[in-house]
Amino acid sequence: MNTLTGFTNRTVQNHHPESDRETILNDYRIVHRSRWTSIIARQEVFSGKAKFGIFGDGKEVAQVALAHAFRKGDFRSGYYRDQTLMFSLGLLTLEEYFAQLYGHADLSYEPNFGGRAMTGHFATRLLNPDGSWKNQRASINSAADLSPTAGQMPRLVGLALASKLYRSLPGLEDLSALFSDNGNEIAFGTIGNAACAEGIFWEAINAVGVLQAPMLLSIWDDGYGISVPNELQIVKGDIFAILKGFQRKQNKPGIDISTVRGWDYPQLCRTFLAAAETVRRTHTPAIVHVSELTQPQGHSTSGSQERYKPAERLKWEREYDCVGKMREWMVKNAIATPEELNEIEAEEKRLVLDMRDRAWAVFQTPLQNDRDVLLDIIDESADAAPEPSRLEEISDALGNIKYPIRRDLLAAAGEALIALNRGPEESKRKLAAWKKEQERVASERYDTHLYSVSCESALRKRPVSPVYSPDSPAKAGFEILNACFDAAFARYPHLVAMGEDIGRLGDVNQGFAGLQSRYGALRVMDTGIREATIVGQAIGLALRGFKPIADIQYLDYLLYAIETISDDLASLRWRTCGGQKSPVIIRTRGHRLEGIWHSGSPMAGIINLVKGVYVCVPRDAVQAAGFYNTIFDSDDSALIIEVLNAYRKRSIMPDNIGEFSIPLGVPEIIRTGRDVTVVTYGACCAPAQEAAGQLSGVGIEVELIDVRTLIPFDLNGVIVDSLKKTGRILFLDEDCPGGATAYMMQRVIEEGGGFHWLDSAPRTLTAKEHRPAYGSDGDYFSKPSREQIFEAVYEIMREACPARFPDLEGRDLPT
Ligand SMILES: Cc1ncc(C[n+]2csc(CCOP(=O)(O)OP(=O)(O)O)c2C)c(N)n1
């Protein structure tokens, strides 16, 4: 035992070959580097060079200590206070930090998010430029941070569970080479004390405790959530006391809970190293509550803590600032003299200032260069223009902006084009070409990577046609899906599924029947009722190489998970600028059944929130199987919504049920006709087919199109082609008015140019504005029925040709 420091050489030397003293001095260096970073970054915001700041000051010492517990292969799932941890782990340089602060949209300088996310949000690049996985075992890895408090918790469950699966499941040798050393990795989480009041925090803690997965969560407790103190956040104002109920007891699984003061460097090192050692070895989760932390600069650059923290508290925070406390401890234990520490502090300040200047220069230089080019073009135009004064004004204004950003450049170019409206064509063309090129580059900077562009993209999959033979059996929908899943579990050793009642029961509709007994409880996992962390579990697993199916029992309950899907899963590839992917399949079932919570169809809500995830709405089980087979084989994420009343419907099952696949974004014309195009999907296909039959009886031939996927939507213009023929169109679904029918209408009429082919006003037919009422009558009067579809189409035709189609209710007969 080193009496100076109070912790053993052996533990520290686990990670640092140097002597203890050097380790401590180096930690002190990083602590100061990080503190100066916060102070100087804040000045950058107030001087107008950066827009917003949120920093890790007050948490530095705890984070340098935590860093000692990490090993290669480990994962971090944290939040915006973790700059010191990132510096300590070697995952973030000062230049990168400042590049992010400035919003530098260039991956070579800002590799976390390529300028797409605000300061203090961290991520490592898990993918090669071609979209394939890098070797996670060779590095420490960080999932991509997100701002919603506790948003990092659901996927933490899956990141931890992956280690357990790698340690337990056979057949993963190939994957292990990239992702895991026999499951020895820890998923480290960090979270603020106030974020622990969020529901998904408790959901995740409960889940990881049940799963007994190797998570080590640090709670940075500085007593407040912006202005609201712990007393108003957590029962008893004490998250540690409340978490105690999760404490692992002898022979009873649970979570190891400990607490440590955030300014006590040696005790922090001891606590984290001991906790990590147990987690890694035994796969028992642990939580370290770090108390008595401070926030010297306040919550963020927008607002001052003096407005809500009592003077007494502020005084305490100054006394217990972890940086000062660490210094005190080092001097007291003769680890360094005050002069040596002063020297380190001064050196670190200089370093931070130098790196800030470098980051600023590389951020500003291309902007200044682009401005110079634009100014030359505008000035040249002014020389040639009949009335140059406005152009000169624009040029002067642009030239006088101290720190130009691209918006200033584009705004000036736009104004110059207006001023040049009646000017020489040559000048206009040159300026317009410059603007266009800037817009193209901006689109590359900000619009790319919403979906996969790798060779595993779902859109690149060659469809495989279903094979039918005289012996192809007629099967119920659930049996068809069951056969599809069975084939997939057999083929892909890294395919795992998780959800409520999917294991022992085989899911509420029997799609997974018998699969748990065939493939084991770790591949077909029953979970608690916890939709957000079912999806989170899948996200974390997919980040570590698995192919997970997150089963959400009913479409209506997807709403519990929608935050995680929208904020984390759907934006992941985009917000990391192609640096991370999490190919998750979300399986659910919905549309018509019974009542408000078992027959909802909130499609517009979903599709508008999950851009980045493909949305398939198959009309029956065979179609659903075709989509699963496409997605199993791709690195995109997809939501597949099965139709509840298709499970009992019998269809002929293709002989190649495990292979045949359906391309995304390709609608199917399920009935041809010349008069009206009806566009629908999912459960509405059945009544639409019936109505089309009736309409044929009165001389109206409907072209019925099943869009099959809402995202992507009709990539080849099948619907507009139909409209060219019919000139009339009805968009039909069981979402609310203005819901997904409005989305389809925008895609076809505006984006697809369908407007040009319309002979009648386009129409929509939807469910009522209220939620579906209970029972068959409730359903009938809430959702579009065969009769309503008939009437809607008939009405379109009657408006066009009243002579051929008399009013159904006899209103146009003479009275
Ligand atoms: C879901 C959500 N609600 C509100 C906010 C706004 N907000 C940002 S940080 C914060 C306080 C968080 O406090 P704590 O978890 O203790 O972390 P700290 O910032 O103190 O480290 C709040 C309310 C948010 N980002 N996300």
Using one digit for the tens of pLDDT, what is the confidence trace for 754-813? Answer: 999 999 999 999 999 999 999 999 999 999 999 999 999 999 999 999 999 999 888 876
For CA atoms 395, 399, 403, 406, give the dihedral sign: positive
CB-ligand 1 contact for 148 (6 Å cutoff) = yes
Number of C-beta neighbours around residue 245 at 10 A: 9
User: Ligand 1: which of 149, 239, 240 to mutate, most ligand atoms within 8 Å of CB?
Assistant: 149
705: Cβ contacts below 8 Å, ≥ 6 apart? 667, 668, 669, 670, 677, 678, 679, 680, 718, 719, 722
**How many Å lie between the centroid of ligand 1 and the Cα of residue 149?**
5
Contact (CB, 8 A) for 634 and 582: no
- Alpha carbon distances (Å) from 403 to 88, 99, 368, 587, 598: 32, 15, 8, 49, 55
pLDDT of 10 strictly over 70 = no
- Paired residues of 650 in beta bridges: 476
pLDDT of 16 strictly over 50 = no
**How many Å lie between the centroid of ligand 1 and the Cα of residue 148?**
7
CB-ligand 1 contact for 452 (6 Å cutoff) = no
Q: Is 207 helix (H, G, I), strand (E, B) or coil?
A: helix
Which residue among the candidates 44, 198, 348, 531 is catalytic per the annotation? 531
Q: Is the pTM of this model over 0.75?
A: yes
pLDDT of 3 strictly over 60 = no
Question: What's the average model confidence in pLDDT over 636-658?
Answer: 96
CB-ligand 1 contact for 219 (6 Å cutoff) = no
332: Cβ contacts below 8 Å, ≥ 6 apart? none
CB-ligand 1 contact for 222 (6 Å cutoff) = yes
CB-ligand 1 contact for 225 (6 Å cutoff) = yes
Query: Going by CA atoms, what residue is nearest to atom 24 of ligand 1?
Result: 148
Confidence (pLDDT) at 145: 98
CB-ligand 1 contact for 399 (6 Å cutoff) = no
Number of C-beta neighbours around residue 51 at 10 A: 14
Average pLDDT, the chain: 95
Question: What's the average model confidence in pLDDT over 387-413?
Answer: 96
**How many Å lie between the centroid of ligand 1 and the Cα of residue 242?**
20
19 band by pLDDT with thresholds 50, 70 and 90: low
Question: DSSP E strands: which ranges in 67-134?
Answer: 75-77
Contact (CB, 8 A) for 702 and 678: yes
pLDDT of 15 strictly over 60 = no
Minimum-distance ligand 1 atom for the alpha carbon of 222? 20
594 band by pLDDT with thresholds 50, 70 and 90: confident
List, for residues 32-68, the tens digit of each pLDDT value.
Answer: 999 999 999 999 999 999 999 999 999 999 999 999 9
pLDDT of 541 strictly over 90 = yes
CB-ligand 1 contact for 226 (6 Å cutoff) = yes
- Paired residues of 585 in beta bridges: 549, 638
| Six token digits for residue 251 | 């022979």
CB-ligand 1 contact for 217 (6 Å cutoff) = no
**How many Å lie between the centroid of ligand 1 and the Cα of residue 156?**
18
620: Cβ contacts below 8 Å, ≥ 6 apart? 477, 643, 646, 649, 651
Q: Exposed (0-12), middle (13-18) or buried (19+): which is 46, by Cβ within 10 Å?
A: exposed
CB-ligand 1 contact for 81 (6 Å cutoff) = yes
Contact (CB, 8 A) for 25 and 344: yes
Confidence (pLDDT) at 387: 83
Written as one string, the DSSP assignment of 483-523 is: HHHHHHHHH-TTEEEEETT-SSS--TTSTTTTHHHHH-TTT
pLDDT of 5 strictly over 60 = no
Q: What angle do CA 463, 464, 465 make, to 5 degrees?
A: 115
Minimum-distance ligand 1 atom for the alpha carbon of 196? 15
Does 15 participate in catalysis according to the annotation?
Answer: no
| Six token digits for residue 162 | 């992956």
Name the residue among 475, 418, 405, 479 with its Cα closest to residue 445.
405
249: Cβ contacts below 8 Å, ≥ 6 apart? none
CB-ligand 1 contact for 434 (6 Å cutoff) = no
**How many Å lie between the centroid of ligand 1 and the Cα of residue 577?**
25
User: Ligand 1: which of 57, 226, 317 to mutate, most ligand atoms within 8 Å of CB?
Assistant: 226
56: Cβ contacts below 8 Å, ≥ 6 apart? 34, 38, 63, 80, 81, 82, 83, 84, 85, 120
**How many Å lie between the centroid of ligand 1 and the Cα of residue 230?**
13
Name the residue among 105, 62, 437, 394 with its Cα closest to residue 217.
62
pLDDT > 70 in the chain, percent? 97
Query: Going by CA atoms, what residue is nearest to atom 25 of ligand 1?
Result: 148
Minimum-distance ligand 1 atom for the alpha carbon of 224? 16
Residue entry with tokens 């996969």: 452
Contact (CB, 8 A) for 540 and 162: yes
Minimum-distance ligand 1 atom for the alpha carbon of 295? 20
Question: What's the average model confidence in pLDDT over 512-520?
Answer: 98
pLDDT of 596 strictly over 90 = no
**How many Å lie between the centroid of ligand 1 and the Cα of residue 225?**
6
Minimum-distance ligand 1 atom for the alpha carbon of 221? 16
Query: Going by CA atoms, what residue is nearest to atom 20 of ligand 1?
Result: 225
Helix (H) or strand (E) holding 183: none
List, for residues 297-314, the tens digit of each pLDDT value.
Answer: 999 998 899 999 999 999
Number of C-beta neighbours around residue 472 at 10 A: 16
Residue entry with tokens 């005050």: 338
18 band by pLDDT with thresholds 50, 70 and 90: very low
Written as one string, the DSSP assignment of 427-461 is: HHHHHHHHHHHHHHHHHHHHT--SS--STT-GGGP
Question: What's the average model confidence in pLDDT over 740-763?
Answer: 98
CB-ligand 1 contact for 589 (6 Å cutoff) = no
Contact (CB, 8 A) for 676 and 702: yes
Residue entry with tokens 């899948």: 538
Show the 3-state SS of 26-71: HHHHHHHHHHHHHHHHHHHHHCCCCCCCCCCCCCHHHHHHHHCCCC
- Interatomic CA distance for residues 805 and 783, integer angstroms: 25
CB-ligand 1 contact for 193 (6 Å cutoff) = yes
CB-ligand 1 contact for 149 (6 Å cutoff) = yes
CB-ligand 1 contact for 563 (6 Å cutoff) = no
Question: What's the average model confidence in pLDDT over 646-669?
Answer: 97
Look at 6-10, 137-141, 663-667, 699-703 and tell me which has the smallest mean pLDDT. Answer: 6-10
CB-ligand 1 contact for 147 (6 Å cutoff) = yes
- Alpha carbon distances (Å) from 32 to 86, 294, 326, 331: 14, 15, 11, 16
Contact (CB, 8 A) for 48 and 403: yes
Minimum-distance ligand 1 atom for the alpha carbon of 150? 1
Number of residues that make up the chain: 815
Query: Going by CA atoms, what residue is nearest to atom 18 of ligand 1?
Result: 192
Query: Going by CA atoms, what residue is nearest to atom 12 of ligand 1?
Result: 225
Query: Going by CA atoms, what residue is nearest to atom 13 of ligand 1?
Result: 225
Q: Give CA torsion, residues 796, 801, 803, 806, to 10 deg.
A: -10
CB-ligand 1 contact for 734 (6 Å cutoff) = no
Q: What is the CA radius of gyration of the chain?
A: 30
Residue entry with tokens 């997974």: 512
Minimum-distance ligand 1 atom for the alpha carbon of 81? 21
- Interatomic CA distance for residues 587 and 235, integer angstroms: 36
Query: Going by CA atoms, what residue is nearest to atom 1 of ligand 1?
Result: 148
Contact (CB, 8 A) for 241 and 247: no
Confidence (pLDDT) at 2: 43
**How many Å lie between the centroid of ligand 1 and the Cα of residue 191?**
10
**How many Å lie between the centroid of ligand 1 and the Cα of residue 184?**
32
**How many Å lie between the centroid of ligand 1 and the Cα of residue 607?**
27
Confidence (pLDDT) at 814: 65
- Interatomic CA distance for residues 36 and 346, integer angstroms: 10
Confidence (pLDDT) at 9: 37
- Interatomic CA distance for residues 387 and 394, integer angstroms: 13
| Six token digits for residue 121 | 């949000």
251 band by pLDDT with thresholds 50, 70 and 90: confident
Confidence (pLDDT) at 4: 42
**How many Å lie between the centroid of ligand 1 and the Cα of residue 201?**
13
CB-ligand 1 contact for 333 (6 Å cutoff) = no
CB-ligand 1 contact for 194 (6 Å cutoff) = yes
Does 531 participate in catalysis according to the annotation?
Answer: yes
163: Cβ contacts below 8 Å, ≥ 6 apart? 180, 183, 184, 185, 186, 187, 213, 214, 283
- Paired residues of 286 in beta bridges: 216, 256
- Paired residues of 729 in beta bridges: 677
Contact (CB, 8 A) for 610 and 574: no
pLDDT of 14 strictly over 60 = no
Confidence (pLDDT) at 423: 83
Contact (CB, 8 A) for 246 and 156: no
List, for residues 63-79, the tens digit of each pLDDT value.
Answer: 999 999 999 999 999 99
CB-ligand 1 contact for 195 (6 Å cutoff) = yes
- Interatomic CA distance for residues 115 and 63, integer angstroms: 25
**How many Å lie between the centroid of ligand 1 and the Cα of residue 38?**
18
**How many Å lie between the centroid of ligand 1 and the Cα of residue 259?**
22
Confidence (pLDDT) at 597: 86
CB-ligand 1 contact for 301 (6 Å cutoff) = no
**How many Å lie between the centroid of ligand 1 and the Cα of residue 756?**
50
CB-ligand 1 contact for 220 (6 Å cutoff) = yes
Which residue among the candidates 68, 104, 494, 598 is catalytic per the annotation? 598
pLDDT of 612 strictly over 90 = yes
Each residue of 783-813: b (16+ CB within 10 Å) or e?
bbbbebbbbbbbbbbbeeeeeebeeeeeeee
Minimum-distance ligand 1 atom for the alpha carbon of 226? 11
Note if the bond before 712 is cis, omega within 30 degrees: yes
Query: What's the number of CA atoms in the CB half-sphere (13 Å) around residue 662?
Result: 25
Question: What's the average model confidence in pLDDT over 617-632?
Answer: 98
Minimum-distance ligand 1 atom for the alpha carbon of 563? 1
234: Cβ contacts below 8 Å, ≥ 6 apart? 193, 196, 197, 242
Confidence (pLDDT) at 12: 42
Q: Phi and psi dihedrals of 260, rounded to 5? A: -155, 150
**How many Å lie between the centroid of ligand 1 and the Cα of residue 92?**
23
DSSP character at residue 132: P
Question: What's the average model confidence in pLDDT over 86-100?
Answer: 98
| Six token digits for residue 792 | 């809607």
Q: Report the DSSP pairing between strands 668-671 and 702-706.
A: antiparallel
Minimum-distance ligand 1 atom for the alpha carbon of 149? 26
